[in-house]
Amino acid sequence: MTNPFLQKLSKVGQFFLDVLFKPLESLSAKWAVTILLAGLFSAGLLHWGFFLDWFNNRFDIQDWHLHVGPYLDFLSKAFRSGQFPLHADSAYIIPSQYLARQNRPFSPQILLLYFLNPSTYVLVNVWIFYSLSFAGLLLIRARYQLSFVSFLSIFLLFNLNGHIVAHIGSRSL
């Protein structure tokens, strides 16, 4: 005869092992994985917030103050004044015609500069990309019926990828 406490502990332990390593079967396991995924998503948001120093971007690392900072500032002023961004009054923007540069940001989320200052925009933009990548990883998880640990491995490989982190760090800090 075994101890009822040990039996209960064994069932709880087996439940968590199933949640972590097996495809979902029961409703309670689905809820547990949903909570774990929400915590993982929140941890990723916090990671990028700490990595980018939240909303304190000073545009003073590497060549940020020469290239991207003035462009975001220029776009922000253009949107707030209601003018289409064509010519910049900045010594750092060469040529002064904004649209003459092929590598300048002009995607839909750039309209957020109307509401946000450039340093806040950088973090929000990274959060948008992070959220899209997390949704894509969830689609991969559903397609291949991955367990939580398998998903966690892919999540960590993607989000702590040195190439991505180094490029964001060198351009955004």
Q: Greater confidence, 115 or 26?
A: 115
The confidence score (pLDDT) of residue 102 equals 58
pLDDT band at residue 166 using 50, 70 and 90 as cut-offs: confident
- Cα 122 from chain centre: 11
CB 37 within 8 A of CB 138: yes
Q: Retrieve residue 162's tokens.
A: 């040195």
pLDDT digits (tens, 9 = 90+) for 25-49: 778 878 888 999 999 999 999 999 9
pLDDT digits (tens, 9 = 90+) for 43-68: 999 999 988 888 777 666 666 666 67
Q: What angle do CA 158, 52, 152 make, to 5 degrees?
A: 25
